[in-house]
Amino acid sequence: MSIQKNLANIQQSIPHHVTLVAVSKTKPVSDLLEAYRAGQRIFGENKIQEMTQKWEEMPKDIQWHMIGHVQRNKVKYMAEYVALVHGVDSLKLLKEIDKQAKKYDRTIPCLLQVHIAEEDTKFGFDREELLLLIENPEFLGLKNVRVKGLMGMATFTNDQDQVRREFKTIKQLYAVINTKISTVDTLSIGMSGDYHIAIEEGSTMVRIGSSIFGARN
Ligand SMILES: *Cc1c(COP(=O)(O)O)cnc(C)c1O
């Protein structure tokens, strides 16, 4: 099926209040342009260099989301344009994003990544760390980052009950920070294999790659 048809099918299967991030990592600009021509304006990448190259080549009304693990020494390359950083997993990283955002006189929207998978390969805060962070005066003093919500990745498994459990965990945390931080409105959970469950559990933003662009090499 074509990228255009895939996009239309997915848009049809998700509610209006859920934002679709088209995850275009490893895909050529020609594929992204096909999605762009079909109306897609939000793209997700997991490597800063690749995202920056695509930002330079693509139309300027695109919102670029950094969905991967962020190395602090590379924040400077995306600070000018990035629309949302999903994978913020430390105060140190948040401070670097704040510092680089200041140089462009910007406030960069960020999501705090929460570790929800039972497997331990994924990055992110656990519950306790997150609750400590949001009371930390250093965190509260940052002016050039805006925390918009949480991001999480469920375990890569066929066990749907486990995936649902993990999404319920992050949804509960989301409810907590939603009452404490006024700018919070985004819960980024759900990928090609699990976005239906994620939406049932309260996702407001899904990150979908292979179901739009086909399998990656
Ligand atoms: C690659 C990736 C996705 C998209 O995965 P698909 O299974 O291709 O939909 C979503 N989120 C993150 C963080 C990713 O790295």
Average pLDDT estimate for 69-95: 98
52: containing domain: 3-213
Distance CA 196, CA 211 (A): 13
Give yes or no for residue 23 CB within 6 A of ligand 1. Answer: yes
Q: pLDDT band at 117, cuts 50/70/90?
A: confident
Atom of ligand 1 nearest to the CA of 151: 13
Give yes or no for residue 72 CB within 6 A of ligand 1. Answer: no
Among all chains, which residue has been given the structure tokens 């609750």? 131
Reported as a single tens digit per residue, the pLDDT across 67-81 is: 999 999 999 999 999
Average pLDDT estimate for 17-45: 98
Atom of ligand 1 nearest to the CA of 213: 8
Cβ atoms of 43 and 28 within 8 Å: the answer is: no
Percent share of the chain, pLDDT over 70: 99
Average pLDDT estimate for 23-52: 98
Percent share of the chain, pLDDT over 90: 96
Say whether pTM exceeds 0.85: yes
What is the number of domains present in the chain? 1
Give yes or no for residue 187 CB within 6 A of ligand 1. Answer: no
The gap between the terminal CA atoms of the chain, to the nearest Å, is: 18
The predicted pLDDT at position 122 comes to 65
Distance CA 95, CA 145 (A): 8
- CATH classification of the domain holding 109: 3.20.20.10
Give yes or no for residue 156 CB within 6 A of ligand 1. Answer: no
Among all chains, which residue has been given the structure tokens 């999903």? 86
Is residue 5's pLDDT more than 90? yes
Distance CA 1, CA 9 (A): 11
Is residue 4's pLDDT more than 80? yes
Is residue 63's pLDDT more than 70? yes
In this structure, the dihedral spanned by the alpha carbons of residues 85, 62, 9 and 217, taken in order and rounded to 10 degrees, is -70
Among all chains, which residue has been given the structure tokens 């890569």? 156
Q: pLDDT band at 214, cuts 50/70/90?
A: very high
The predicted pLDDT at position 120 comes to 67
Ligand 1 centre to CA of 84 (Å) is 15
Choose the residue to mutate in 6, 20, 23 for probing ligand 1, maximizing ligand atoms within 8 Å of C-beta. 23
Ligand 1 centre to CA of 21 (Å) is 10
The predicted pLDDT at position 119 comes to 74
Helix (H), strand (E), coil (C) string for the chain = CCHHHHHHHHHHHCCCCCEEEEECCCCCHHHHHHHHHCCCCEEEECCHHHHHHHHHHCCCCCEEEECCCCCHHHHHHHCCCCCEEEEECCHHHHHHHHHHHHHCCCCEEEEEEECCCCCCCCCCECHHHHHHHCCCHHHHCCCCEEEEEEEECCCCCCCHHHHHHHHHHHHHHHHHHHHHCCCCCEEECCCCCCHHHHHHCCCCEEEECHHHHCCCC
The rounded mean pLDDT for the chain is 96
Ligand 1 centre to CA of 106 (Å) is 27
Reported as a single tens digit per residue, the pLDDT across 139-164 is: 999 999 999 999 999 999 999 999 99
Atom of ligand 1 nearest to the CA of 46: 15
Q: pLDDT band at 121, cuts 50/70/90?
A: low
Average pLDDT estimate for 16-20: 97
Cβ atoms of 52 and 72 within 8 Å: the answer is: no
Q: pLDDT band at 1, cuts 50/70/90?
A: confident
Atom of ligand 1 nearest to the CA of 195: 9
The predicted pLDDT at position 110 comes to 98
